[in-house]
Chain A
Amino acid sequence: MSAIKHTIVALVEDRPGVLNRVASLFRRRGFNIESLAVGHSEIPGFSRMIIVVDGATTAVEQVRKQLDKLIEVIKVTDISEDNIVARELALIKVESSPSTRSEIMQITDIFRASILDVAPDSIVIEVTGDDDKVSSLVELLRGFGIIELARTGRIAMVRGTIGPLRKQGQGQSKRRSGR
Chain B
Amino acid sequence: MLKVEKLESGYGSMQVLWGPDLEVKAGSITSLLGPNGAGKSTLLWTILGTVTPTNGKVYFEGQDVTDLPAHKKVNLGLTMVPEGKNLFKEMTVFDNLSMGAYRKEAQEVKQENLELVYSMFPILAERKDQLAGSLSGGQQQMVTIGRALMTKPKFIMMDEPSQGLAPKLIMEIFQTIVKMKEEIGLTILLVEQNAAASLGAADYVYVMHEGSIKAEGTPDEIKGSDEIKEAYLGM
- Chains A and B bind each other: no
User: A residues engaging B (CB < 8 A)?
Assistant: none
User: B residues engaging A (CB < 8 A)?
Assistant: none
